[in-house]
């Protein structure tokens, strides 16, 4: 019986070493070498070096002077991230969308972009489409007493083109650029 158990224990120890130690260390080393920023959370730091957030996760901003991200079903908590799991036929989803649309003062003439009234699958989507950022432009410009054209330039300067899908603006990067007065150079 021992001659059958010994190879099984040896195989268990060998596979534990490979899959529990060597493989994770190899993946971690490759990630740190090739994708160091992403492997370390894609942290965003302000001019003083203090961490302000991550480009991968949405976070709430208080006040009309800031661009707002998509609503979050998990209240922007990374531990409880996830969708609301409400089906399109669920009346609660319609209530949530209507409540979010009323917060944006939606009208039939000025409908709110869909992403500002619905949550993302993770509840932590950090990006907005150009249409959603532009929809917020008049409110932010009025709150900051800035020309809309100046904010439009800032939005364009923070526009990113992913491999798939429409161009997006990272809300944290856009708000930090405003907070730190990093305005794009004007063409004169």
> Where are the chain's structural domains?
1-40, 47-179
The per-residue pLDDT for 162 is: 86
The per-residue pLDDT for 186 is: 58
The pairing of strands 159-160 and 168-170 is antiparallel
Residue 149: what are its φ and ψ, rounded to 5°?
-65, -35
- The tens-digit pLDDT sequence of the chain (188 residues) is 788 899 999 999 999 999 999 999 999 999 999 998 888 888 888 778 888 888 888 888 999 999 999 998 888 887 767 777 788 888 998 898 999 898 898 888 889 999 999 888 787 889 999 999 999 999 999 999 999 999 999 999 999 998 888 999 999 999 999 988 877 765 54
Q: In the chain, which ranges are continuous DSSP H helix?
A: 2-17, 23-34, 36-39, 91-103, 130-144, 148-157, 171-179
- DSSP code, position 187: P
The per-residue pLDDT for 110 is: 84
The per-residue pLDDT for 168 is: 94
- Model confidence, pTM: 0.76
pLDDT in tens, 32-85: 999 988 888 888 887 788 888 888 888 889 999 999 999 988 888 877 677 777
Mean pLDDT of the chain: 88
106: tokens are: 């939606």
């Amino acid at each position: 019986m021992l001659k059958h158990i010994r190879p099984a224990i040896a195989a268990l120890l060998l596979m534990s070493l490979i899959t529990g130690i060597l493989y994770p260390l190899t993946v971690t080393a490759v990630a740190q070498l090739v994708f160091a920023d992403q492997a370390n959370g894609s942290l965003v730091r302000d001019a003083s070096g203090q961490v302000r957030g991550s480009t991968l996760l949405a976070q709430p901003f208080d006040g009309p002077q800031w661009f707002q991200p998509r609503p979050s079903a998990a209240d922007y908590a990374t531990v409880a991230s996830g969708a609301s799991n409400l089906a399109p036929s669920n009346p609660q989803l319609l209530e949530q969308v209507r409540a979010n649309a009323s917060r944006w003062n939606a009208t039939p003439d000025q409908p709110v972009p869909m992403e500002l009234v619905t949550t993302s699958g993770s509840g932590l989507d950090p990006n907005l489409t150009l249409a959603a950022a532009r929809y917020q432009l008049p409110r932010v410009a009025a709150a900051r007493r800035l020309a809309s054209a100046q904010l439009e330039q800032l939005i364009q300067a923070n526009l990113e083109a992913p491999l798939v899908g429409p161009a997006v603006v990272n809300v944290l990067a856009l708000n930090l650029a405003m907070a730190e007065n990093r305005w794009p150079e004007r063409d004169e």
